[in-house]
Structure 1
Amino acid sequence: MEFTVIDYSIFALLLVLSSAIGLFYALSGNRQRTVQEFLLANRNMSFLPVALSLLATFQSAVAILGVPAEIYRFGTEYWFLGCSYFLGLLIPAHIFIPIFYRLHITSTYEYLELRFNKTVRVFGTVTFIFQMVIYMGVVLYAPALALNAVTGFDLWSAVLTIGLVCTLYTTLGGLKAVIWTDVFQTLVMFAGQLAVIVVGAWRVGGMARIWHLAEQEGKISGIDLDPDPFKRYTFWTLSMGGVFMMLSLYGVNQAQVQRYLSARSEWEAKLSCYAVFPCQQIMLCLSCLTGLVMFIYDREHPLAPAQRPRSSDQLVLYFVMDVLRDLPGLPGLFVACLFSGSLSTISSAFNSLATVTMEDLVRPCCPGLSESRATLLSKLLALGYGLLCLGMAYVSSMLGPVLQAAISIFGMVGGPLLGLFCLGMFFPCANSTGAVVGLLAGLAMAFWVGIGSLLQSMGAAREPYPPNNTLLPTASNLTTALATTLLTPMLAPQSPSGLQKFYNLSYMWYSAHNSTTVVLVGLLVSLLTGPTPAAAVDPRTIYPVLPRLLCCLPHKYRQKLCCGVVFPDQDSDHTDTVVKSNGMANGLVPPGSRQREQEAEGQGYISMGGAPEYSLQETSF
């Protein structure tokens, strides 16, 4: 199982074209001379490239390797995750995007300062940086390790090549280069997976036969309506728990929000969110069909014992190298597909980390920073995070079983951050003390459940062998940790009891569990320490979710549900006073907001002395 010259050529072509896109945008237009152009693509992107970039950002090699292996081992139940995509994308389009876009911010965490104070903003920023720094090293190292195990491709050559190419085009071309390379890499991902499905299905008699045999083998799952959250996968776990996971990714994550903010209008930003829905469904279908083809192909063409993969994540690569062995170039195309997932995820991480560091940590400390120096510093930050990614990949290679905990962190941190934003947007009475304490409580709960689950799984070998005994699970294998931690929850013991039961919570409920903890603790602390006065709340940062859900109530009751916060359609003069008397007068407007205000006025927004205000019609409820 080795690459041919054609395979290496196709793989190299992917890297060359990705670098060329970065160089093109570094040498064209304004040549990334302003912070807004470098970090937000000059807010001039159309919806389609933004949508494909949104898809590519978290469609990493983990999903390309892990989802087919999940279907191969446990059947098509994972396919019901697609049910969560509807609400998971509709809610960001109608709640999060309007608020973030109309505030005309650059970093998601600027919202936290406008809603609470600078301390909450710093806490949110540091939490996000911690999350992404750990994850991006893993995303770089894991597919390189899997490729090395299967094809003999030099491990550290792959790590250095991918890391340096990502760093090059992200640093030179900014967000515009990242978005357009994401578009190119998304097309490569589609092509690679489709090639494997077509050739594999042809070799075993077509998709109709594959589906029929999979159904006979019990791999086509029905709808399991069991509400037990401790059960590995059920319809409710995937469709409802998945909604919270999607919200943490597509609602408040800086890497995604930054793409919404790069759209040329709010409508284009919403449209990009709508366009992600069919793309996500297609990608999920391709991954699931790959898993079914793998299962039937292995059943009819089993590998020799010496060639069997040692872990679930290598299963896809072994299948690809076997089924495409007589078609030079196609293995290279699939490996290019695999590394496209890593490239898009890592480049997005570099750009979003540079953005939050610049806007949330550097600018507040250096308010007099010139535009040219700020742009140069943003590029240096992207370069620095690129080099840090290479260092994290090296550390990942030495962590062994502990890496499972590091990967779990990525899944666990998103929930508390989602809870923090929901606390601010939906509950006007929440104060900054409640926000900080709630975030810390959510993180503590996440680490307790996640690490407890990890230690319990390491103490007992509970992973079942897949059909045909093609998989020999090993807890110390890095990429096994990737697939089992992010895509496969720990299997429950026979009789969990007491606190141990929490350690068997399905990973799909992590975001819901942790975000709910943040909201409940944050509200309790806010009530105990004194709710935020209505006059101190900026109405632009609140979404009146209860009045809109209970729209049949009389107007006076819906006003009470707003906790005294007056929205522009109710009393625009009073709102002007409120806005001027809270964050705007207290220096809570992020640096550069005056320029953003002027830009916003040019787009037809109503200015209230700071960032752009809601229009009167759109804020009625």
Structure 2
Amino acid sequence: MDFQFSWIAEFAAFACMLGISISIGVYYGFIERKQNTITDYLLGGKHMAVFPITMSLIASHVSGITLLGTPSEIYVYGTQYLVVAVINIFIIIIVIYVFLPVFYDLQLKSVYEYFELRFNRDVRAVASFMYAISLVLYIPVVIYVPALAFNQVSKLNVHTITPILCLICIFYTTVGGLKAVVWTDAIQSIFTSLSVTTVIILGIYQVGGIGNVINANSEGNRLEMFNMDPNPFLRNSFWTVSIGVIFSWVYHLGMHPGAVQRFVSLPTYSKARKALIGFAIGMVVVKLLTGLIGMLMYTKFKNCDPIMAGYIESDKNLLPYFVSNVATNYPGLTGLFISGIVSAALSTMSAELNTVSGTIYHDFIVKILGVKMSDLAGSIIMKVTVVIVGIICVTLVLVVEKLGSIQQMSHVLGSITHGCLLAAFILGMCFPKANSRGVLCGMVVSFLVMSWITYGTEDAIVNDKLKFVTKDLSVTGCPVNITLHNITDYSGLIRLNNDVYAAPDVWKIFTISYMHFSTLGPLIGIVVGLIISIIFPSDQQVDPKLLTPFVRRIVYPNHQIQKDKFNGIKSDEYILVPQNIKS
């Protein structure tokens, strides 16, 4: 596959994005030197605006995995995944009415401080440990994807570009704190948006218009949104995608430290809610646009699948290959595209580094070790933490490239750790009778069970004992002298449903839809947590502010809501106060 990479035009676009990121870090780290307290470093001094926070949230959650993975998903399996655009409405309602009021009310520097307030220090330590490990394993995946895309179009070695990208990200995250992260995210999102929009416009032009795109995908049996079959073992259906996405994104929007950190950095609750709504709308737009790119790729390659023709190795190479086709006559476009992919990765990495530094400082150094430090010392320690974690992540890229599918790997990490954390937060906020013993048991059992399921599923896939049925692909329009590659062989396997083939010795649980991995984890944790809490009850009194508002009204009907101020900051925050009732 011969990608054209004009170094003058392409590198100019790429260097521009990196230069802006460095400049922002220098400005907030050395010119506007206001990052010397913990609040400044983590929360931007509580003076952030809605727009940059919203753009930062979108940018930090749109990684290269999204930009490369969603188009490939649509190309190979059809448009059923795009139902996530509709489901986001329900996710926002859940987050606004269940989780956001609690976190904004508490104004915690670490999200996991909630567990110590609600349960005890042990629950907080376990939750923080799981989160820290998941990030250290996830960040190398995030940065490896754009490095791989850059390698495909420029021929530079992955291990040459990866350290450069990571070091730049570590630099502006370390010296600039949250303000640098937020504003670089906002600027980088512009590069990402320009690259995606340009590719879509050129793609539509080359395939003859949006009408041809719809017709081609309809004829190729790819237009599918409402497959209402309730079978949980189908790879994609309305129910598997909807339920799985709800559990997954409630965690990412409602209790992920990176998201909560940005929400509480806003001066009022109403602004935090606006940022959340804007974030959800932005994610819908991103999903639809990347889905459209997948439909464009199928329209262009419907008669000559580049994977079967041997032009590329796998579906993760589809988007760079597509861009190289549509951008051949437009110098600079490939560089813009790579800038978009790299921007998405840097945004995610910087957000995670900034967040994990706060988590490690507050939940391990301060609480577990019992070390008390000044704000300046704490800020310095968090900056050093960013550097150390960043270096570890650069090193782990060497491991990541030896593993299997990036999409599968990132999903496995999420299903193992996010499910048990989501279960713990739900137990704490929605079930007053849940206690520390129940939550710890629920988290551990969820973690172990999901580790077993994901290992069994991955092992079956690697050993060709579990295969998924793709939509029809063709090579009838390819040159006659090609040699077909990557032909799926289902011999020796049993067809379980329209989506899945499996060997007879594969356990049924290992064939469940990958979308339900994010469903099983929290359900297991909640059920186990409630059972243990009932068997071993405690007489712990729960502070009403630690419960979600609708539970407060049920458990504490004799309390009313009153506006107040938090640490002298004008806000719309609500606190609970006892109501005087005459007998």
> How far apart are the structure 1 equivalents of 2:548 and 2:87?
22
CA distance in 2, matches of 1:451, 1:51: 36
Q: Report if aligned partners of 1:540, 1:613 keep a CA contact under 8 Å in 2.
A: yes
Distance 1:246 1:616 in 2: 35
Counterparts in 2 of 1:154 and 1:474: CA distance versus 1, 3 Å: farther
Do the aligned partners of residues 8 and 229 (structure 1) sit closer, same or farther apart at CA in structure 2, a change above 3 Å counting? Answer: same
Q: Following superposition of structure 1 onto structure 2, how do residues 255-404 of structure 1 map, counting pairs within 5 Å?
A: 255-299=258-302, 308-364=311-367, 365-399=369-403
Q: Does 1:467 align with 2:482?
A: no
Tell me which residue corresponds to 2:543. 538
| Superposed CA RMSD | 2.8
Residue of 490, 500, 504 corresponding to 1:492: 500
Task: Give the aligned partner of residue 121 of structure 1.
Answer: 124
Question: Could you list the per-position Cα deviations for residues 543-569 of structure 1 after superposition, in whole angstroms to 9, with x for gaps in the alignment?
Answer: 254687xxxxxxxxx4xxx2xx57632
- Matched-pair contact (CA < 8 Å) for 2:268–2:571: no
Q: 1:112 to 1:474 in 2, by over 3 A?
A: farther
SS of corresponding position for 2:401: helix
Which amino acid in the other structure matches residue 360 of structure 1? D
Aligned position for 1:71: 74
Q: Is 1:603 matched with 2:574? A: no
Task: Spell out the pairing of 1:503-518 with structure 2 (5 A cutoff).
Answer: 503-518=510-525
Worse overlay, 391-400 or 206-215: 391-400
Shift of residue 405, structure 1, vs aligned partner: 5.2
233-242 vs 166-175, which moves further: 233-242
Question: What does residue 586 of structure 1 align with?
Answer: none
Equivalent residue of 1:569, what SS? strand
Choose which of 450, 454, 458 in structure 2 pairs with 1:454: 458
Q: Deviations over 1:517-568 (max 9, x none)?
A: 11111111111111344xx2111101254687xxxxxxxxx4xxx2xx5763
CA deviation after TM superposition for structure 1 residue 468, in Å = 2.6
Match of 1:109 among 93, 112, 137: 112
Matched, 1:20 2:17: no
> Equivalent residue for 1:568?
559
Say if 2:176 is the partner of 1:185: no
**Distance apart, 1:147 and its partner CA:** 3.0
Deviations 1:437-494 (A, max 9, x none): 110011112112111111111222624566135995599xxxxxxxxxxxxxx95336
> Superposed, which structure 2 residues align to 1:86-165 within 5 Å?
86-165=89-168
Q: In the alignment, what sits opposite 1:6?
A: 9
Distance 1:8 1:59, change over 3 A: same
Matched to 2:89, the amino acid is F
Distance 1:168 1:18 in 2: 9
| Structure with a larger share of its residues in helix | 1
Q: C-alpha separation between the residues in 2 aligned to 1:205 and 1:164?
A: 43
Inter-CA distance 100–160: structure 2 relative to 1 (3 Å threshold): same
- Pairing 1:189-208 to 2, within 5 Å after superposition: 189-208=192-211
Q: d(CA) in 2 for partners of 1:177 and 1:474?
A: 47
Aligned equivalent of 1:590 = none
Corresponding letter in the other structure for 1:377 = I
Give the direction of change, closer, same or farther, for the CA distance of 1:239–1:197 in structure 2 (3 Å limit). Answer: same
Match of 1:253 among 256, 259, 277: 256
Alignment TM-score, normalising by the size of structure 2:
0.89
- Which amino acid letter does the alignment assign opposite residue 439 of structure 1? M
Q: Relative to structure 2, which stretch is displaced further, 523-532 or 15-24?
A: 523-532
Alpha-carbon distance, 1:598 to partner:
8.9
**Inter-CA distance 407–280: structure 2 relative to 1 (3 Å threshold):** closer
Deviation at 1:603, TM superposition (A): 3.3
User: Aligned-pair distance for 1:264?
Assistant: 1.6
Alpha-carbon distance change, 306 to 80 in structure 1, aligned in 2, over 3 angstroms: closer
Cα separation, 2, equivalents of 1:262 and 1:547: 25
Q: Which moved more, 1:67-76 or 1:389-398?
A: 389-398
One-letter amino acid of the counterpart of residue 384, structure 1 = I
Letter in 2 for 1:467: L
**Contact 2:308 / 2:485 at 8 angstroms: preserved in 1?**
no
Instruction: Assess, with a 3 A threshold, how the Cα gap between structure 1 residues 304 and 51 changes in structure 2: closer, same or farther.
Output: closer
Count of residues paired in the alignment: 556
Structure 1 residues 290 and 240, CA, compared in 2 at 3 Å: closer, same or farther? same
The residue number in structure 2 matching 1:430 is 434
TM-score by length of 1: 0.84
What CA deviation, in whole Å up to 9, does each residue of 1:345-399 have, x standing for no partner? Answer: 1111100110101111112234531111111111111111111111111222344
Q: Distance in 1 between matches of 2:558 and 2:25?
A: 44
Q: Percent identity?
A: 28
1:568 and 1:67 map into 2 onto residues whose CA distance is 47
DSSP-derived class of the 1:468 partner: coil
Aligned equivalent of 1:415: 419
In structure 1, how many angstroms separate the alpha carbons of the residues matched to 2:192 and 2:407?
Answer: 26
What amino acid does structure 1 have at the position aligned with 2:543? D
Conserved? CA contact 1:89–1:273, under 8 Å: yes
Report the Cα distance in structure 2 between the residues aligned to 1:430 and 1:303, rounded to whole angstroms. 53
Aligned-residue offset at 1:418: 0.5
Specify whether residues 401 and 543 from structure 1 end up closer, same or farther in structure 2 by C-alpha distance, changes over 3 A only. closer
Contact persistence 1:430–1:523 (CA under 8 A):
yes
